[in-house]
Amino acid sequence: MEQKETNKYNRSLQQPIGSGFNATSTSNDVIKGVDLTGKIAIVTGGYAGIGLETVKLLSRAGAKVIVPARDVAKAKKNLDGVKNIAVEHLDLMNPESIDAFARNFLETNSPLHLLINNAGIMWVPLQRDLRGYESQLATNHLGHFQLTAKLWPALKQANGARVVNVSSFGHQMAPFDFEDPNFEHRQYETLQGYGQSKTANNLFTVELDHRGRYFGVRAFSLHPGSVNGTDLGRVAPMALFQQMGTHDENGEIYPEVAKKLKTIPQGAATTLWCATSQKLEGKGGVYCENGDIAELDLGNIDHQYDNPLTLRGVTPYSIDPENAKRLWQLSEEMTKVIFTAD
């Protein structure tokens, strides 16, 4: 497909389709009536926050769910009592760990129907992996790029798989810096690093879907919403939240702030919708939010940071096909993994 045609294709799909769901819809609402018996899913970060809720609902719908975890003991504890699940070790900052996990799965000769790249970090100080890559880029994008590449044979084998990349409205904080993605020549700002990694999630989705749809593999990215009670800010100093005006001097979130945030079941709803909705058949490469495809943000959306419901829309730079191809090539170079998707 020519570049202009691809761009037109992406733009035409990047608009709400009237799913019937909204910001208040829950995980139970979107997965009601869905039967996943016989399906296999992998959910990274599936043992805390919206990832844990995602695993529970997929399991309840009949899927067998594999939960890769850096902290296996914590994962098993949090998933105690959840049926049809298996916990295996995986560290997204460690390429050898990614390869080992994928190799173990491929040795089962099983198809992979759902790959939900949910794990993520935010608000971290400057840290680098063993290759020298900035930690948010390494965890949120490069690790998932490598994991998806290594699991590609199983995704193709499913004859109708979906890859769901949990992104964020945070992609609007920064485009992808192709000249200095690892903050080697510019001052490190943690939210710039986070925003860049989330833009990468969106761009990866665009090119993955472009390459994968010929093999029945469709890809989606999404903003779960501003969710209360996740682990995402676990390493951020409480002083940061207090400075933002969300928490009191005792470290408790203000009730009026919590009231504006999504619950965990509401936060997991869009992930599950992307993974299972029949309304997305024949579609892909789009960014979703609030249980629907998101609107393209052309500067027409009034974002008010004290009102999370206004934090919506997707920037054109984060779904641009040329940027997506460029990121794909760079990701191959950085991971040393050739992901031909054929």
Residues β-bridged to residue 161: 217
Are 295 and 312 spatial neighbours (Cβ–Cβ below 8 Å)?
Answer: yes
H-assigned helices in the chain: 3-13, 27-31, 49-60, 72-78, 95-106, 135-137, 143-150, 152-157, 190-212, 238-244, 255-258, 264-267, 269-276, 321-335
| Residue closest to 306 by CA, chosen among 222, 246, 231 | 246
**From 47, 133, 194, 287, active-site residue:** 194
Instruction: Calculate Rg over the CA atoms of the chain.
Output: 19
- Per-residue CA distances from 25 to 66, 267, 308, 315 (Å): 26, 9, 15, 24
Q: How many C-beta atoms surround the C-beta of residue 307 within 10 A? A: 11
Rounded Cα–Cα distance for residues 111 and 41 (Å)? 9
Active site residue 317: no
Are 87 and 47 spatial neighbours (Cβ–Cβ below 8 Å)?
Answer: yes
Rounded Cα–Cα distance for residues 101 and 15 (Å)? 36
Are 163 and 155 spatial neighbours (Cβ–Cβ below 8 Å)?
Answer: yes
Rounded Cα–Cα distance for residues 170 and 131 (Å)? 25
Rounded Cα–Cα distance for residues 142 and 94 (Å)? 10
Rounded Cα–Cα distance for residues 116 and 334 (Å)? 22
Rounded Cα–Cα distance for residues 27 and 276 (Å)? 11
Q: How many C-beta atoms surround the C-beta of residue 52 within 10 A? A: 23
Query: What amino acid positions are annotated as catalytic residues?
Result: 194
